[in-house]
Chain A
């Protein structure tokens, strides 16, 4: 419990820091004194950005946890299972074919593609006897690469490479009030996992086992993948891809708490949000006054963590 409390304290500290870090000067004193310019800045830019980072971080982390349960693999998450790339392909197709539709429709198309991508990943996994747990992320990363190559080809063909770049690298710098609210829905969906955690855990034990326990395996699997797909699509549509976040947070949480999903969900969400805040804040400060997008920061920090999980454990075991 003390660890959770410590995580919560760090998280709150990061959130406050995120409110007051930026190019234009904003001090807590000015806000408390009721300075209208300061309040305006806080309410239109800083607060929405901080909330968006927290919501996206938390929901991506939970989506990663669900994916890890369903694929029965510690290294599975939306960005290592082709789901994110499929969502981005969906966004591209929606932009090409339905350019005048509102964002919500495009997001639904992206979600449908993401679901298909996650389904394809699970189908490929089902054909492989699990000779090594490392095959799962390899398959997912390569599937993502292939989908990504197809996406860039289409984008190249129709001169959309620039739009593709916008949602292929997560970036919170364009978040203002009115441009992030979809993330509340994403977070609510991810929070649904809390109520179905036990079923998802059982489904993670495999088809035969869950049918034996009287669970409608296909329905739970579809439900879990749908949550992952919707969350992924919403995050990709509003801020872009954040690689490895869904991998890092659940693994850090399970180091602290073990593998009980229901217990792990709150801490996972908290760590995901905290990690996203830290990366976003770091990206804002490293090259001040310019910004480095969170997708890039997370790429460095997340892949280092991934390597640590891969090699560190092996060294400890051997």
Chain B
């Protein structure tokens, strides 16, 4: 997709127009989400939906930013944090926490505090793990991809074992409270998540020029004076924080980032992060909010969004893999 467009370097203006169009579509999607199919008390419905809309907006932004950042750092367009097992790792840490502390203990702990602790742990782990993968002997992209996919499977299986070791009665209680999905958006974390995502977004926005240079590749970036190691680590830390936050809110969404980031590259005729980052975030919002509106109100499928994302994303991934190998 990205290569099909003849990208000219000075096409910032048309990029701006596309961003504006995306913004309009996103606003339309949000309005539709808030207003379509309201029966009965408006005040009640609007409040209920506003909370959910806020969660979707936050998740969309977090996933889009994390994916674009991760792809710039890793220098390709097919790796994403969730394909590399980031969100499976978050679920594993969460399960391990539940397993270690137990339900009675968890009820005493503030959930936001717990979330912050988990996010910190996750960030540390992710940094260690991926530093090993990125700077070790592992150079081939395919190896990185496959290792990431298998790591994700390993994390999921270990979580599964731990979940089975927890007392079944306790687990049912915990599942609703601690394992989020699109249907059971975790609303107690919205405030914390909003602050974290806003801070991360500001940090990424301030890095945008450096990221443009980083996109030229490792050697070029170093030659142009970018402190490569430090920038890469900062970016990976931000990715870990964003991914933890979005997984805490709605659970894992495997291929969403891949879809959104590649749509953004295809639509924006530029490699500048000042354009691709907001474009990806807007597309994510359009897909999440629009998709949820259509599925919930038109087809009455409530939890199907994650499944559909998985299906479409898998096909896009296969397509990219096949096409990339042919070229």
Contact = CB atoms under 8 A, between A and B. Distances in A.
Q: Is B one of A's binding partners?
A: yes
Given A141-B149, A156-B303, A132 B142 contact: yes
A131 B325 CA distance: 6
B298 interface: no
Contacts of B145: 134, 138
A211 to B, nearest CB: 25
B188 interface: no
B153 interface: yes
A96 interface: no
A150 B137 contact: no
Contacts of A149: 307-308, 310-311, 314
Contact of A156 (B146, B157, B164, B307): B307
B143 A135 contact: no
A296 interface: yes
A310 B147 contact: yes
A306 B143 CA distance: 12
A310 B310 contact: no
B294 interface: no
A287 B164 contact: yes
A128 B319 CA distance: 11
Given A143-B318, A314-B137, A153 B151 contact: no
User: Would you call the interface of chain A mostly helix, strand, loop, or mixed?
Assistant: helix
A287 B163 CA distance: 11
A13 to B, nearest CB: 24
B322 interface: yes
Interface in B299-314: 301, 303-304, 307-308, 310-311, 314
A81 to B, nearest CB: 13
A287 B161 CA distance: 9
Interface in B150-207: 150-151, 153-154, 156-158, 160-161, 164-165
Contacts of B304: 153, 156
B28 interface: no
Interface stretch (A3-11, A102-110, A297-305): A297-305
Contacts of A119: none
A253 B140 CA distance: 27
B128 interface: no
On chain B, which size bracket covers the interface?
Answer: 35 or more
B154 A297 contact: no
A142 interface: yes
A28 interface: no
B108 interface: no
A138 B154 contact: no
Contacts of A315: 137
A290 B164 contact: yes
A281 interface: no
DSSP class of B's interface residues: helix, strand, loop or mixed? helix
B322 A296 contact: no
Contacts of B303: 156
B253 to A, nearest CB: 12
B147 to A, nearest CB: 6
A305 to B, nearest CB: 10
B228 interface: no
A318 B311 contact: no
A286 B325 CA distance: 44
B315 A310 contact: no
Interface in B131-146: 137-138, 140, 142-143, 145-146
B167 to A, nearest CB: 10
Nearest to B308: A153
Interface string A125-136: 001110110110
A299 B153 contact: yes
Nearest to A132: B142
B154 A128 contact: no
Nearest to B327: A131
A306 B311 contact: no
B149 A299 contact: no
Contacts of A205: none
Contacts of A296: 157, 160-161, 164
Contacts of A41: none
A141 B154 CA distance: 14
Q: Which 7 A-B pairs have the closest CB atoms?
A: A299-B157, A146-B314, A134-B142, A149-B311, A303-B154, A149-B310, A300-B157
Interface of B: 137-138, 140, 142-143, 145-147, 149-151, 153-154, 156-158, 160-161, 164-165, 254, 301, 303-304, 307-308, 310-311, 314-315, 317-318, 321-322, 325-326
Interface of A: 75, 124, 127-129, 131-132, 134-135, 137-139, 141-143, 145-146, 148-150, 152-153, 156-157, 243, 286-287, 290, 292, 296-297, 299-300, 303-304, 306-307, 310-311, 314-315, 318
Given A138-B146, A299-B154, 11 more contacts: A131-B325, A135-B142, A135-B321, A139-B318, A149-B307, A150-B311, A296-B160, A300-B158, A303-B151, A310-B147, A311-B138
25 contacts: A128-B322, A128-B326, A131-B325, A132-B140, A134-B146, A135-B321, A135-B325, A138-B142, A138-B145, A139-B321, A143-B314, A143-B318, A146-B318, A149-B307, A156-B301, A156-B303, A292-B161, A292-B165, A299-B154, A299-B160, A303-B154, A304-B154, A306-B150, A310-B143, A310-B146
